[in-house]
Amino acid sequence: MDNILEFTGNHTLLVLFLIISFFVVVFTELRRKASGLVTVDPVDAVRLINNDGIVIDLRNVESYARGHIVNARNIPFDEFDAKKDKIAKFRNRSIVAVCDAGVSSTKAVDSLRKSGFESVYGLKGGMSAWTEAGLPVVSAKKTKSKSKK
State the pLDDT at residue 115.
Answer: 85
User: What top-level class would CATH report for the domain 36-132?
Assistant: alpha beta
Can you tell me whether residue 100 is helix, strand or coil? coil
State the pLDDT at residue 149.
Answer: 39
pLDDT tens track for 47-61: 999 999 999 999 999
**What are the strands of the beta sheet with 73-74, ordered from one edge?**
39-40, 120-123, 95-98, 54-57, 73-74
- 36 against 149, higher pLDDT: 36
Can you tell me whether residue 34 is helix, strand or coil? helix
Band (pLDDT 50/70/90 cuts) for residue 105 is confident
pLDDT tens track for 6-27: 999 999 999 999 999 999 988 8
- CA gap 135, 133 in Å, rounded: 6
Can you tell me whether residue 107 is helix, strand or coil? helix
Contact 60, 98 (CB under 8 A): no
Can you tell me whether residue 39 is helix, strand or coil? strand
